[in-house]
C-alpha cells in the first residue's frame, strides 16, 4: 500500500487530478449502478410473485388433470398454456402433472397447504429438468358444492430466468455505460486539470526562466480572482521586489564606486607627490608637506567614514534589527550633543530635553541622532545656533543654515544623494539614509522641512514611547 501511495505521489499533478476524478466518478457510478440493479431485481421479483398469485388455473383444466391422474380418463390434458407449469399435490405429497411437463419438487410448505394447515405458499425450487422455478401453491377449490377437494393443492410455477435474463442484460448495459462514464470522466478530468493548471504551468515556466536566465522582468498574466490568480499576483510582486532589490544593489555598487573614486584619486595624487619627492631627492617645502599630510589624513578619515557607512548599509533593508531595549531618548540625545559641541565649538547649541523612553537598538539610535546633529553642525554658519528640543517623543533639530530647496526634500533620504550645494562639503550622502532606516526599525518616522521664518532646516524624529521606563530610572 505504501508503494502504491508513493507511486501515486510520483505522478504529475494533472495525472493525479484526472485519476482522482475518474476514481470518484467510478465509485459514484458503481454505487448508482448497483442500486439500480438491486432495485430492478426487487421490482421484477415482486412482479413475478404478483403474477403467480393472480394467475388462477382454470377449474376445467384442473378437473381434467385430476381425472387423468385418478385414471378416470385416458386422455391427458395438454400442457398449461404459456410458460407456466401446473401440478396437483395431495396430502401425502403425491404429485399429478400433465405429460411432457417437468415435475416440481414438493416441499413441506406445499404439503401443509394441501393438508389445509396454511392458505398458500411461495418459494423457489428446481424442476426435474434443472430449471430454476418460482412456485406458488394454493388450495384447490371444489368445483361443485359439497365436493371434497380440500386435500388437494395446486402448484403453479414460472421460470426464474424470466427475471434473470433481463437482470443479466441490465448488468451488462450498466457495466458498459459505467465504463464509458469512467473513461469520459477521466478524459474530462484530464482536460479540466490541464485547463485549470495552465496558470501553474505558466508560473513554472516563468520560475524556470528566471532561474535559467536571471531575468526578473518576467510577469505572468493575471485572470480572475481565484487562488491561481493570487499565486500569480504574488509571484509578480516577488519578481518586482527582487528586481528592485537587484537594481538597488547595482545602484549601491555604482554609487559606492563613484564616491570612493574621488577620495582615492586625491589620496593617490598626494601619495605620488610624496613618493616622487623621496625618489628625486627634491624636498617639498615644510608648509606644503604639512598641507599634503593633512589632506592625506582627511581623505583617509573620509574613506573610513564612507566604508563604515557602507558596512552599516550592507544589511538588507528587510533584515531584523538588533535586540530592542527600553532606552532613555533624552540621555542618548544628551550624549550626542556632547559630541556635536566638540565638532562645532564655535556654534551655540541649545537644548530642551523632556524625559522620553523608547524601545530601540541603543547603538543604532545613538548613531542616528549623531548623524542628524552632524548635519545641523555641518550646514550651520560660523557662530550660528542649533536648537534641539525633545517633547512628547518628538526630537526636533533646527539649524540656521542655507536650508534645503523644496524640490530636493523628497531625495534627502536616498543613498548617496547629496544636494548640489553640499557636494564640496565632507560626507558620503549615506547618513540620512541610515537614520531613516534606524528610525523606521524603531517604529518611528523622520521628516525634514524648511524652518519657519526662512533660513535653516528642521529635522523631526518621532518615536513611540515605551510601555515603561527601564528598571531603576
DSSP 195-213: HHTHHHHHHHHHHHHHHHH
**Averaged pLDDT score across all residues of the chain:** 78
User: How would you classify the pairing of strands 120-126 and 85-90?
Assistant: unpaired
pLDDT band at 433 (very low <50, low <70, confident <90, very high): confident
User: pLDDT tens digit string along 36-47?
Assistant: 999 998 998 898
Among 309, 324, 319, CA closest to 442: 324
Total number of residues shown for the chain: 473
Q: What is the DSSP letter of 102?
A: P
408, 432 Cβ separation under 8 angstroms: no
What integer pLDDT is reported at residue 352 of this predicted model? 92
Q: How high is the pLDDT of residue 3? A: 59
What DSSP designation does 124 have?
Answer: E
pLDDT at residue 159 is higher than 70: yes
Q: What is the mean pLDDT of residues 73-95?
A: 77
Average pLDDT (435-444) is 84
Which residue, among 149, 154, 148, has the nearest Cα to 57 in the 3D structure? 154
Question: Could you give the percent of the chain with pLDDT greater than 70?
Answer: 78
Q: Which residue has the higher pLDDT, 444 or 313?
A: 444
Measure CA 369 to chain center: 44
Q: Return the pLDDT at 146.
A: 43
Which residue from 298, 294, 249, 269 is spatially nearest to 426, judged by alpha carbons?
A: 298
Residue extents of the structural domains in the chain: 50-165, 227-313, 325-462
pLDDT value at 443 more than 80? yes
Distance from C-alpha of 473 to C-alpha of 78, rounded to nearest angstrom:
124
Q: With CA atoms as reference, report the closest residue to 99 among 87, 111, 107, 110.
A: 87
**What average pLDDT does the segment 151-158 reach?**
85
How many whole angstroms separate alpha carbon 174 and alpha carbon 9? 32
Please give the grid coordinates belonging to residue 139: 388450495
- We find that the CATH architecture of domain 325-462 is 2-Layer Sandwich (3.30)
**Is 311 or 69 the better-scoring residue by pLDDT?**
69
Of the two residues 11 and 84, the one the predictor is more confident about is: 84
Domain formed by 50-165, architecture = 2-Layer Sandwich (3.30)
Confidence of residue 347 (pLDDT cuts 50, 70, 90): confident
pLDDT digits (tens, 9 = 90+) for 217-254: 777 777 777 777 787 788 788 888 888 777 767 766 66
Q: Any residues with CB less than 8 A from the CB of 412 and at least 6 apart, and which?
A: 404, 419, 432, 448
Q: For residue 365, is pLDDT > 70?
A: yes
Task: Report residue 470's pLDDT band, with 50, 70 and 90 as the boundaries.
Answer: low
Distance (Å, whole) CA 248 – CA 152? 110
Mean per-residue pLDDT, 376-392? 88
* Strands 85-90, 152-159: pairing kind: antiparallel
According to DSSP H, which parts of 344-471 are helical? 362-379, 431-441
Longest dimension (CA), the chain: 166
Whether the predicted pLDDT of 199 surpasses 80: no
Q: What pLDDT shows up at residue 390?
A: 92
pLDDT at 358 over 80: yes
Q: Is the pLDDT of residue 139 over 50?
A: yes
Instruction: Compute the distance between CA of residue 279 and CA of residue 261 in angstroms, rounded to an integer.
Output: 26
Q: Provide the pLDDT for residue 14.
A: 67
pLDDT digits (tens, 9 = 90+) for 18-35: 777 778 888 888 888 889
Place 84 in a pLDDT band, splitting at 50, 70 and 90.
confident
Residues 396-415 pLDDT 10s: 999 888 877 777 777 676 66
**Domain 227-313 fold:** Helix Hairpins (1.10.287)
Q: What is the pLDDT of residue 318?
A: 38
Sheet holding 394-398, edge to edge: 348-353, 385-391, 394-398, 457-462, 445-450
- Whether pLDDT at 315 is above 80: no
Share of the chain above pLDDT 90, in %: 5
Do the domains 50-165 and 325-462 sit in the same CATH topology, yes or no?
no
CA angle 395, 379, 336 (to 5 degrees): 40
Does residue 283 surpass a pLDDT of 60?
yes
| Dihedrals phi, psi of 430, to nearest 5 degrees | -110, -10
Q: Using the predicted structure, report yes or no on whether residue 305 has a pLDDT greater than 70.
A: no
Q: What is the pLDDT of residue 423?
A: 47
Burial 354-390 (b: 16+ CB within 10 A, else e): eebbbbbbbebbbbbbbbbbbbbbbbbeeebebbbbb
Amino acid at each position: 500500500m505504501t508503494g502504491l501511495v508513493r507511486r501515486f505521489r510520483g505522478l504529475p499533478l494533472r495525472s493525479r487530478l484526472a485519476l482522482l476524478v475518474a476514481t470518484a466518478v467510478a465509485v459514484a457510478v458503481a454505487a448508482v449502478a448497483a442500486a439500480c440493479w438491486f432495485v430492478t431485481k426487487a421490482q421484477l421479483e415482486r412482479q413475478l410473485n404478483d403474477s403467480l398469485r393472480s394467475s388462477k388455473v382454470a377449474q376445467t383444466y384442473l378437473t381434467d388433470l385430476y381425472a387423468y391422474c385418478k385414471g378416470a380418463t385416458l386422455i391427458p390434458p395438454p400442457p398449461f398454456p404459456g410458460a407456466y407449469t401446473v401440478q396437483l399435490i395431495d396430502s401425502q405429497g403425491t404429485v399429478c402433472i400433465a405429460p411432457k411437463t417437468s415435475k416440481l419438487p414438493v416441499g413441506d410448505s406445499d404439503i401443509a397447504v394441501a393438508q389445509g394447515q396454511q392458505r398458500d405458499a411461495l418459494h423457489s425450487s428446481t424442476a426435474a429438468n434443472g430449471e430454476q422455478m418460482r412456485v406458488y401453491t394454493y388450495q384447490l377449490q371444489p368445483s361443485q358444492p359439497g365436493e371434497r377437494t380440500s386435500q388437494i393443492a395446486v402448484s403453479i410455477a414460472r421460470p426464474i430466468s424470466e427475471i434473470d435474463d433481463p437482470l443479466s442484460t441490465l448488468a451488462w448495459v450498466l457495466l458498459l455505460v459505467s465504463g464509458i462514464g469512467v473513461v469520459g470522466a477521466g478524459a474530462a478530468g484530464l482536460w479540466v486539470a490541464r485547463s485549470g493548471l495552465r496558470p501553474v504551468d505558466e508560473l513554472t515556466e516563468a520560475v524556470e526562466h528566471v532561474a535559467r536566465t536571471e531575468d526578473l522582468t518576467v510577469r505572468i498574466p493575471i485572470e480572475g480572482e481565484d487562488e491561481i490568480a493570487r499565486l500569480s499576483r504574488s509571484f509578480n510582486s516577488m519578481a518586482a521586489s527582487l528586481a528592485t532589490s537587484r537594481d538597488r544593489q547595482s545602484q549601491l555598487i555604482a554609487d559606492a564606486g563613484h564616491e570612493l573614486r574621488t577620495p582615492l584619486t586625491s589620496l593617490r595624487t598626494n601619495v605620488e607627490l610624496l613618493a616622487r619627492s623621496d625618489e628625486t631627492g627634491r624636498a617639498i617645502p615644510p608648509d606644503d608637506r604639512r598641507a599634503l599630510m593633512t589632506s592625506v589624513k582627511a581623505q583617509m578619515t573620509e574613506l573610513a567614514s564612507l566604508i563604515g557607512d557602507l558596512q552599516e548599509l550592507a544589511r538588507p533593508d528587510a533584515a531584523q534589527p538588533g535586540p530592542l531595549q527600553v532606552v532613555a531618548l533624552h540621555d542618548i540625545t544628551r550624549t550626542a550633543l556632547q559630541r556635536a559641541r566638540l565638532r562645532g565649538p564655535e556654534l551655540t547649541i541649545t537644548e530642551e530635553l523632556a524625559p522620553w523612553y523608547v524601545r530601540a537598538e541603543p547603538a543604532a539610535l545613538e548613531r542616528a541622532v549623531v548623524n542628524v546633529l552632524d548635519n545641523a553642525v555641518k550646514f550651520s554658519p560660523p557662530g550660528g545656533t542649533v536648537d534641539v528640543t525633545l517633547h512628547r517623543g518628538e526630537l526636533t533639530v533646527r539649524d540656521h543654515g542655507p536650508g534645503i530647496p523644496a524640490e530636493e526634500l523628497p531625495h534627502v533620504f536616498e543613498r548617496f544623494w547629496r544636494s548640489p550645494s553640499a557636494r564640496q562639503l565632507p560626507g558620503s550622502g549615506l547618513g540620512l539614509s541610515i537614520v531613516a532606516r534606524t528610525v523606521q526599525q524603531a517604529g518611528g518616522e523622520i521628516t525634514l522641512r524648511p524652518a519657519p521664518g526662512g533660513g535653516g532646516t528642521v529635522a523631526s524624529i518621532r518615536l513611540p514611547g515605551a510601555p515603561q521606563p527601564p528598571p531603576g530610572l
